[in-house]
Amino acid sequence: AQKITQTQPGMFVQEKEAVTLDCTYDTSDQSYGLFWYKQPSSGEMIFLIYQGSYDEQNATEGRYSLNFQKARKSANLVISASQLGDSAMYFCAMREGLSGSARQLTFGSGTQLTVLP
Amino acid sequence: GAVVSQHPSRVICKSGTSVKIECRSLDFQATTMFWYRQFPKQSLMLMATSNEGSKATYEQGVEKDKFLINHASLTLSTLTVTSAHPEDSSFYICSARGPGQGNTIYFGEGSWLTVV
C-alpha cells in the first residue's frame, strides 16, 4: 500500500488566491513526521514545513500552513496569496519513527502547481 | 541554517565510464545521509542509506556493485556510478538530517547525470 498519497497530479491557481494541496498517509507508527518540499524545475528540494505526529497545533511558516487531521491521516498544504514563483512540483513526505531518528523519508508522487497571472 | 552541498550539479559521461557524485554537510555532522534517484516527472526513490564508518544499506532492487556509496567522514558521502549506461541517466539527490532536534531533512542541490 502507498504510504504517501497525493491525488492531484496537477493544480492551477490564480495569483494571489489560496490553494490546498492534498496529502494522505498511512502508517502504524505512533511517532512520525510529515514534511512538504517544493521542487522547482532546477531540481533542488526546498523544505517548506514540518508537522510532528504529536504536535497539537497545525504548523505554519509564512504563507504555508499544514492542515493536519490526524484521525483522517491527512496533511494538506495550504499556500495563501499564491505568487508566480510558487509554480513548482510539491512533494509530501513522511518519516516514520521518533523525531531525530535517522529514518529515511518516503515521498508522495507530487503535485505540479501552476500559478496563473 | 544547515546546508547540504552536492557536486557536480551536472555531469555528462561516456557509456562504460564511472562517475562520482559528492554530498557534503557544510556546517554540521551527518552520520547518516540518504541517496535518492528521480526520473523526470516522477517522485524521489530512495536508493540507499549511507552510514558513516560502515557499509551502506541498499534498497531492494538497487545494485550495490553498480552504485558504490562511501561515507568516509562525518561530512562527506559519495555515490559512484560504475560502468555507467544510458539507462543510468537520471537526477540523483542526497539528503541529511539537520543538527539539533533534527526535524528537518536537508537536501543537496542534486546532480543531473547524462550517460552518452
What cell does A112 get? 505540479
pLDDT digits (tens, 9 = 90+) for B23-45: 999 988 888 899 999 998 899 99
**3-class secondary-structure state, position A84:** helix
Burial of B5 (0-12, 13-18, 19+ CB in 10 A): middle
* Interchain pair A52, B103: CB under 8 A: yes
**Pick from B43, B101, B103: which is nearest to A107 by CB?**
B43
Q: A61 vs chain B: nearest CA distance in angstroms?
A: 13
d(C-alpha A102, C-alpha B50), whole Å: 10
pLDDT, tens digit only, all 117 positions of chain A: 679 999 999 999 999 999 999 999 999 999 899 999 999 999 999 999 999 999 989 999 999 999 999 999 999 999 999 999 999 999 999 998 766 566 789 999 999 999 999
- How confident is the model at residue B102, as a pLDDT? 52
**3-class secondary-structure state, position B88:** helix
CA angle A38, A39, A41 (to 5 degrees): 145
**If we measure between CA atoms, which residue out of A32, A18, A21 comes closest to residue A94?**
A32
Task: Indicate the pairing of strand B67-73 with strand A10-14.
Answer: unpaired
**Pick from B38, B46, B103: which is nearest to A50 by CB?**
B103
